[in-house]
């Protein structure tokens, strides 16, 4: 039954992708990308990756679709039809590469097999010892925040770097922020604020979305969730507010100039935990030495670095949304 659901979802995914390949109207293509992400979140759910499904649903179906729409509003909604030579060579290359990959796939361990190499080496240690070594029942959180803490610090660094890139290219809130500019008259008339259903539903949703983000942030040790998901969910609440009420009121609540410091603050908070654990005689990001009891130390360490991750991710997403949408004003 599980295999059947999994296969059906995968086939739907393939159908969606072929529709995206054939579409000339990018607007619909981007909407289909949102659907594509939601489908893949379902597949992750069926394949037991609850944390990943959570992230994909928040990121792919939510924030990333908004970014694409904001960019399309600036660069135009249709792509030119391609000429024949532009389709033939890529098609040949893709078919040859695909055939080679299928040939290679016969060496893969079968789907769901218990003795695949991926399940040996470090994974048994994570599964058997992490409750006594790190603590949280959610092993994904233990591995993410403690065993592979270096790796996660690096990932937060990459998110921060991407933000710096967007900041340098577009300027997060440096052009028009803080100035109460009268919206162009035609924008005012078609503002989403005038749409009763949209306004009322989002009024109902925004506060619970923000509270849910905090729940995901602090409950990540026990269930699916953590800083990455919480940051994206919090940002999507703020983005929803900005979409309905306009970017100027949203920037009053989160002034972009101040918000631009927060990606760095979150990253430094994470790194600071590592420095403090070194000063207390442990290794970098070895939370066990933070307080007298190693398990409590792990718990405090994970809570703080997850907070750092959440701050960075939320601030980066809101900042990028502001930069992209300010350009289209």
Partner 1 sequence: MIAGLFNYWIVIVLMMAGLYIVMSSGHLVKKIVGLNIFQTAVFILFISMGKIAGGTAPIIDSAITLYSNPLTHVLILTAIVVGVATTALGLAIAVRIHEAYDTVEEDEITAMDAQSLHEENTASLAAESDK
Structural contact between residues 294 and 288, judged by C-beta atoms closer than 8 angstroms:
yes
Choice between 95 and 201, CB closer to partner 1: 95
Q: At its nearest, how many Å lie between partner 1 and the CB of residue 205?
A: 21
Choice between 110 and 281, CB closer to partner 1: 110
Choice between 65 and 277, CB closer to partner 1: 65
Rounded distance between C-alpha atoms, residue 2 and residue 304, angstroms: 37
Q: At its nearest, how many Å lie between partner 1 and the CB of residue 86?
A: 5
Q: At its nearest, how many Å lie between partner 1 and the CB of residue 163?
A: 7
Q: At its nearest, how many Å lie between partner 1 and the CB of residue 7?
A: 6
Q: Burial level of 132, CB count in 10 A (0-12/13-18/19+)?
A: exposed
Q: At its nearest, how many Å lie between partner 1 and the CB of residue 160?
A: 9
Structural contact between residues 309 and 227, judged by C-beta atoms closer than 8 angstroms:
yes
Choice between 228 and 241, CB closer to partner 1: 228
Choice between 71 and 206, CB closer to partner 1: 71
Structural contact between residues 319 and 256, judged by C-beta atoms closer than 8 angstroms:
yes
Token duo for residue 188 = 């005012």
Choice between 165 and 249, CB closer to partner 1: 165
Structural contact between residues 311 and 297, judged by C-beta atoms closer than 8 angstroms:
no
Token duo for residue 235 = 């940002």
Instruction: Please list, residue by residue across 12-51, b when 16 or more beta carbons sit within 10 angstroms of its beta carbon and e when fewer do.
Output: ebeebeeebeebeebeebbbbbbbbbbbbbbbbbbeebeb
């Amino acid at each position: 039954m599980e295999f059947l659901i999994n296969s059906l979802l995968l086939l739907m995914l393939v159908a969606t992708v072929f529709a995206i390949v054939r579409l000339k109207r990018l607007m619909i293509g981007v909407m289909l990308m949102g659907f594509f992400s939601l489908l893949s979140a379902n597949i992750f759910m069926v394949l037991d990756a609850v944390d990943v499904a959570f992230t994909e649903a928040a990121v792919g179906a939510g924030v990333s679709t908004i970014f694409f729409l904001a960019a399309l509003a600036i660069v135009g909604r249709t792509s030119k039809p391609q000429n024949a030579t532009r389709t033939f060579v890529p098609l040949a290359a893709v078919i040859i590469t695909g055939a080679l990959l299928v040939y290679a796939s016969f060496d893969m361990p079968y789907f769901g097999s218990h003795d695949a190499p991926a399940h040996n080496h470090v994974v048994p240690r994570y599964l058997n010892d992490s409750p006594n070594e790190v603590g949280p029942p959610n092993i994904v959180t233990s591995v993410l925040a403690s065993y592979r803490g270096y790796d996660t610090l690096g990932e937060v660094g990459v998110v921060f770097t991407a933000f710096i890139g967007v900041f340098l290219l577009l300027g997060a809130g440096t052009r028009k922020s803080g100035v109460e500019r009268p919206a162009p008259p035609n924008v005012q008339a078609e503002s989403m604020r005038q749409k009763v259903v949209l306004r009322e539903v989002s009024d109902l949703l925004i506060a619970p979305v923000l509270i849910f983000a905090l729940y995901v942030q602090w409950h990540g040790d026990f269930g699916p969730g953590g800083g990455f998901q919480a940051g994206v969910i919090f940002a999507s609440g703020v983005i929803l507010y900005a979409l309905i009420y306009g970017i100027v009121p949203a920037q009053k609540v989160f002034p972009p100039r101040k918000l631009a410091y927060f990606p760095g603050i979150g990253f430094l908070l994470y790194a600071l935990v590592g420095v403090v654990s070194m000063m207390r005689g442990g290794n970098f990001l070895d939370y066990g030495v933070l307080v007298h009891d190693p398990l409590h130390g792990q718990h405090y360490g994970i809570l703080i670095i997850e907070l750092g991750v959440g701050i960075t991710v939320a601030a980066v997403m809101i900042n990028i949304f502001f930069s992209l949408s300010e350009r289209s004003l």
